[in-house]
Amino acid sequence: MEKFRFINLIARLRPLSGAVAILCFLMVSCAQNTPKTVQQKFFSIQGIVTNQQGKPIAGVAVAIVEGTASWPEIAAVTNEKGEFSLGNLANGSYTVQAMFAGNTERVPALLKDANTSVRLIFKDQ
Q: Are residues 55 and 109 in the same domain?
A: yes
Q: Are residues 87 and 115 in the same domain?
A: yes
- What is the reported pLDDT for 118? 85
Q: How far is CA 28 from the centre of its chain?
A: 30
Q: Are residues 31 and 78 in the same domain?
A: no
Q: Are residues 89 and 56 in the same domain?
A: yes
pTM assigned to the model: 0.65
Quickly list H helices, 67-120.
none
Q: Are residues 30 and 48 in the same domain?
A: no
* Domain ranges, residue 102: 43-122
What is the count of structural domains for the chain? 2
Q: Are residues 28 and 60 in the same domain?
A: no
- What is the reported pLDDT for 105? 92
Q: What is the Cα–Cα distance from 67 to 74, expressed in whole angstroms?
A: 11
- What is the reported pLDDT for 9? 47
Q: Are residues 57 and 94 in the same domain?
A: yes
Q: Are residues 59 and 19 in the same domain?
A: no
Dihedral of CA atoms 102, 94, 73, 70 in degrees, nearest 10, equals: 140
Q: What is the Cα–Cα distance from 90 to 86, expressed in whole angstroms?
A: 11
Q: What is the Cα–Cα distance from 116 to 44, expressed in whole angstroms?
A: 7
Show pLDDT as tens, one digit a residue, over the chain (125 residues).
555 554 554 555 455 455 544 544 555 555 555 555 667 788 899 999 999 999 999 999 999 988 876 555 789 999 999 999 998 888 889 999 999 989 999 999 988 888 888 888 887 65
> How large is the greatest C-alpha to C-alpha distance in the chain, in angstroms?
88
Q: Are residues 48 and 90 in the same domain?
A: yes
Q: Are residues 59 and 97 in the same domain?
A: yes
CATH assignment of the domain containing 111: 2.60.40.1120
